[in-house]
Amino acid sequence: MWESVIGLEIHVQLNTKSKIFSPASTDFGAPQNTQACAIDLGMPGVLPVLNEEAVIMAVKFGIAVGSDILDNSIFARKNYFYPDLPKGYQISQYEIPIVSGGCMEIITNGKSKTINLTRAHLEEDAGKSIHDLYPNESAIDLNRAGTPLIEIVSEPEMANAEEAVQYLKNIHSLVRYLGISDGNMQEGSFRCDANISLKKKGSDILGTRAEIKNINSFKYVESAINHEIERQTLILDRGDKVTQETRLYDPSKNETRSMRSKVEANDYRYFPDPDLLPISIDQDLIKSIKDNMPELPSAKKTRFIDQYGLNEYDTIILVSDRDLSEYFENVLEDSNLNPKMTANWIITEVLALAKKTYLSVKDYPVTSDNLRDLLLYVMDETISSKQAKEVFERMWENKENPRDIIENEGMKQISDINELDKIVDNIIKNNYKSVKEYQSGKDKLLGFFVGQVMKETKGQGNPKIVNQLLKEKLKK
C-alpha cells in the first residue's frame, strides 16, 4: 500500500588543521574550551576569515561525486539563539552552495542504483551543550564551534533503510578515501539527518515528511528509518495524516519522538554574510585537484577484482575502508602471497580481532610487513595455518614480529622427515640404556627422547613428526 521515500542530509566534519573561520585548532578531545579563540567565542568585533583548506576539501568532494563546482558561492547567516552557538547565527551556505548536483552509485541485494545529490555546502559546526555535568545547570564546550563541515544533501531517492544505509556507507567511505574527514561517527565527525515520507504505491506525489535529526551510527540510521516507516504506516493506515516535524531517535528505546513541529519551526532569517566575500574558485585549483585525485572506491573495486581475482563480496569489504584496502595491498607488496588467501586472512582473522579490540586500521598492532611475514611462513609451510592463528593472536597482543614468536616458542618447525629421521636415529643409538627401559614399559621416557631431539634441533623439530618417528623407531 505504501512506499517509503528517504532523503539524507549528511554532516561531515572536515579534517582541516584549523577551524573554518578562525586559526584555532580542530583537534578532538582537548580540555573543554581550550580550542576556542575570540572568533569562535563570537567576541564583539571579531570577523571570520575563510580557511582555504576547507574550500579545497569541499571541491574534492564535489569532483569525486561529479558535481558542478560553483564559482562565487555565498556564505549566509542562519540566525537562531542557542547557548552553544556563540554568534547567535551559524555561518552556512543557503542560496548558492559550493557544490551542486552529482551522484553516488549504491549496490543493495546485488542491484545497482544511482542516488542523486542535490548539493553540498560548507558551514561551521556549533559547540556542545553538556547537560549532565552539573545538577541544575548546563555547561558549554566551544571547542567544536567553528569546525568546518560539509552538509551533503541527497535527493529523496532511497526506497528503504537498506538503501539509505548503503548510500551513507558509500559517502562515508568516499570522504575517507578523499582524506577530507576521519569519518569518526562516535566523535561526531560524521552524522546524518534522515527525511522520511510515505506515498501511495506507484504514486508520484510525495507524502508529508518527518525529519529525524542527528543519527550517528549506521545501525541507528537503519533502525530509526525502519521505526519511522512503521510509525508513519500506522498513522496512514488508520486514515490520519503525518505531521511535518523534526523528530529525535532514541536508540535506548528504539523509537523516534517529536522535537518540534513545522509550526514551531525556526525562521532562520537567512541573508548573505556581509563579513565574507563570495568564494572564488580558480579553474587551476579544480584542475590540480582533479589531477591529484586518489583512486576512488568504485575504481579500486574494479581493479581488485581484475588484478587479484577476488570475488565481489570480499572486494567490497576490503574497499569500503580506504585504510583496509591499503593494508591489504601493503601485505601483498613484493611478495608471491596468494591474494585470495591474503584477503581471506584479513577478512576473517584480522577483522575479527579488530572488531573485538575496537581498533581501526591505523591502530592495528600488526603491521602489514609483519602480517606478510606471517603469511609467508604459512605459505612455505614453516608453520601450519592453525599455528599461524596462534602466532597472529600473540602478534596482535604484544606487537611482536612473527619470527620472534615462532623462534621463541619453537614453533618454527623442521618438518623434513629425512632430516629428523637421522637425528632420531642418532639419539636412539646414543641412549641405549634408556631405549631398553622404554621398551620394557617405561612409556614416560618418550618425553626424554622428544626433549633430546628438540635439543638437537634447537627446538625446531616438528613435534608431531618427531613423536611419530620416535614411537615408530622405539618399538623395534
Partner 1 sequence: MDTIKFQRSLTNMHNKTVSELKKYIKEKEISSLELTKHFIDRVKNIDTQLNSFVSITEEYAITQAKKIDLEISKGEVRPLAGIPLAQKDIFCTKDLKTTCGSRMLENFISPYDATVVEKLNHAGMVIIGKTNMDEFAMGSSNETSYFGEVKNPWNTEYVPGGSSGGSAASVAARLVPCSTGTDTGGSIRQPASLTGVCGIKPTYGRVSRYGMIAFASSLDQAGVFTRTAEDCAILLTHISGYDPKDSTSSRKEVPDYEKECKKKFTNMVIGIPTEFLDGLDDEVKEVFEENVKVLEKNGCTFKNISLQSSKLGVSAYQVVAPAECSSNLSRFDGVRFGHRADSVKNIDDLYKKSRSEGFGQEVKRRILIGTYALSAGYYDAYYLKAQKIRKVISNEFEQAFKEVDLILGPTAPDCAFKLGEKTNDPIAMYLSDVFTVSTNLAGLPAMSLPMGFKNNLPLGLQIIGNHFDESKILSLAHHYQQITDWHLKKPEISGD
- Could you list the residues that contact partner 1 (CB under 8 A)? 38, 41-50, 77, 79, 81, 83, 86-89, 138, 140, 267, 269-271, 274-277
Instruction: Pick between residue 206 and residue 277 the one whose CB is nearest to partner 1.
Output: 277
Instruction: Pick between residue 76 and residue 337 the one whose CB is nearest to partner 1.
Output: 76
Instruction: Pick between residue 87 and residue 412 the one whose CB is nearest to partner 1.
Output: 87
Q: How far is the CB of 21 from partner 1 (least distance, A)?
A: 9
Phi and psi of 357, rounded to 5°? -100, 5
Indicate the burial class of 274 (C-beta count within 10 angstroms; 0-12, 13-18, 19 or more): exposed
Contacts of 194 (CB under 8 A, 6+ apart): 6, 7, 8, 9, 164, 211, 212, 215, 221, 224, 225, 228
Instruction: Pick between residue 102 and residue 127 the one whose CB is nearest to partner 1.
Output: 127
Instruction: Pick between residue 269 and residue 287 the one whose CB is nearest to partner 1.
Output: 269
- What is the C-alpha separation between 94 and 77, in angstroms, rounded? 8
Instruction: Pick between residue 91 and residue 453 the one whose CB is nearest to partner 1.
Output: 91
Q: How far is the CB of 45 from partner 1 (least distance, A)?
A: 4
Instruction: Pick between residue 22 and residue 216 the one whose CB is nearest to partner 1.
Output: 22
Contacts of 128 (CB under 8 A, 6+ apart): 84, 140, 141, 142, 143, 144
Nearest by Cα to 233 from 51, 76, 4, 475: 4
**Kind of pairing, strands 210-215 and 245-250?**
parallel
Nearest by Cα to 104 from 90, 115, 96: 115
Instruction: Pick between residue 42 and residue 410 the one whose CB is nearest to partner 1.
Output: 42
Contacts of 214 (CB under 8 A, 6+ apart): 191, 192, 193, 248
Nearest by Cα to 454 from 446, 462, 444: 462
Q: How far is the CB of 270 from partner 1 (least distance, A)?
A: 8
Exposure string over 379-410, b if 16+ CB within 10 A, otherwise e? eeebbbeebbbebbebbbeeebbbeebbeeee
Q: How far is the CB of 314 from partner 1 (least distance, A)?
A: 49
All cell numbers assigned to 241: 495524516
Contacts of 270 (CB under 8 A, 6+ apart): 76, 77, 78, 79, 92, 94, 95
Indicate the burial class of 336 (C-beta count within 10 angstroms; 0-12, 13-18, 19 or more): exposed
Exposure string over 192-203, b if 16+ CB within 10 A, otherwise e? bbbbbbbbeeee
Q: How far is the CB of 276 from partner 1 (least distance, A)?
A: 6
Instruction: Pick between residue 45 and residue 202 the one whose CB is nearest to partner 1.
Output: 45
